[in-house]
Amino acid sequence: MLVVSAAAGGAAARVLGAPVAAGVAVGALAGGVAALLEVLAASLPIERLFWGVAGGLTGLGAGLVLGLVAALLMERGHAAVVGLAAALGAYVGAAVALGRLADLSAISGRLFPVAGRLRGLDKILDTSAIIDGRLADVCGAGFLDGTLVVPGFVLRELRRIADSPDVLKRNRGKRGFEVLGRLQRMPGLRVEIAEVDFAGVAEVDEKLLELARTRGGKVVTNDYNLNKLAELSGVAVLNVNELANAVKPMVIPGEAMTVQVLREGKEPGQGVAYLDDGTMVVIEQGKRSIGQALEVVVTSVLQTPAGRMIFTRTRDDAPSAAAARERGDA
């Protein structure tokens, strides 16, 4: 492409009587721009590309009209005024169309039904979700469809973690590569390594959001800050922690369970235990049973952004507590 463009530019320069070197440079530049536009067009969703072009052409027409009107009112510089108005009109038209893409979704669905069905199926993986490892279990159970997209900049960040002099970070990075290998070996699951980057965007989180907007996909993470940033940016998020909290077994007040008291709680006399899924169980007057298995009764359940906490009393204290509540209701 570059060679052909440069040769065409040189030939055009000879015909016009201009310096051949300048023609070759302009031709090569035009070829580079065309190649860049080809790459961008291939990575953009069809509806985004269509509305960008449609908005740009509409703005171009409006800019030409306004430029011609303005040129009639001026004594000189007509070509410059018309050209500037056309360029600004095309830019504003494309920007407005892409900015209101959500409002055009109904029309896009009718124009591009296949793209509409596929939109949102791409799952763009964050470094934290890969290292966490639970995503592989979710995919293995068949709860995720579409393509798992691993951006090149995420792989590079994972490699930096794996090469860290800190032993803990190094082990986390190696675990991330093991999880990716496991995902790639799963039958029926498509994992795509996307070698994309965004000029002028330094932060990995911002690049993830930009890639999600470009591909119309969802970011998969367990990073709380990235989750909130994506919500503010209007990007769909699949949070692994929220999924884990949603599928934990439900418990209700009055339900009995047996737990192993592991340590002292924050309040005087409290003991703390944990269920198999990591849910914290706070036991009133459980301090005296640290290191022992204890039968408890659930009194209340508290859902927090960090997870769920279950408050309980020992089996012997539960009847008196229930009687006290009944007297209070009476």
Q: Does 238 share its domain with 271?
A: no
pLDDT given at position 288: 87
Q: Does 287 share its domain with 307?
A: yes
Please state the domain count of the chain: 4
Question: Residue 305: pLDDT above 80?
Answer: no
The residue that leads in pLDDT, 199 or 314, is: 314
The residue that leads in pLDDT, 176 or 248, is: 176
Q: Of 112, 143, 172, which one is at a domain's C-terminal end?
A: 112
Q: Which pTM was predicted?
A: 0.53
CA atoms within 13 A on the CB side of 145: 5
Q: Does 136 share its domain with 236?
A: yes
Question: Residue 26: pLDDT above 70?
Answer: yes
Residue at 251 is within a domain:
no
Q: Does 4 share its domain with 95?
A: no
Q: Does 229 share its domain with 126?
A: yes
Q: Does 154 share its domain with 175?
A: yes
Q: Where are the alpha helices (DSSP H) in the chain?
A: 2-16, 20-43, 46-72, 78-99, 105-111, 113-118, 127-132, 134-140, 152-162, 167-185, 204-215, 224-233, 240-246, 318-329
The average pLDDT across 100-110 equals 67
**Are the C-beta atoms of 221 and 123 separated by less than 8 Å?**
no
Q: Does 133 share its domain with 107?
A: no
Q: Of 112, 147, 166, which one is at a domain's C-terminal end?
A: 112
Question: Residue 9: pLDDT above 80?
Answer: no
Tens digits of residue pLDDT in 172-192: 999 999 999 999 999 888 888
The average pLDDT across 133-141 equals 88
133 burial (CB, 10 Å; 0-12 / 13-18 / 19+) is middle
β pairing state of 293-304 and 256-260 = antiparallel
The residue that leads in pLDDT, 98 or 63, is: 63
pLDDT given at position 314: 87
pLDDT given at position 327: 45
Q: Of 220, 246, 272, which one is at a domain's C-terminal end?
A: 246
Q: Does 227 share its domain with 163?
A: yes
What's the longest Cα–Cα distance across the chain? 104
The residue that leads in pLDDT, 46 or 51, is: 51
Q: Does 22 share its domain with 93?
A: no
> Domain residues for 15?
1-39
Q: Does 173 share its domain with 206?
A: yes
Residue at 275 is within a domain:
yes
The residue that leads in pLDDT, 71 or 282, is: 282
pLDDT given at position 298: 92
Token pair 């040769």 is found at 7
Residues in the chain: 330
Q: Across all residues in the chain, what is the average pLDDT?
A: 81
Neighbours of 22 (CB within 10 A): 12
Question: Residue 322: pLDDT above 50?
Answer: no
**Are the C-beta atoms of 287 and 271 separated by less than 8 Å?**
yes
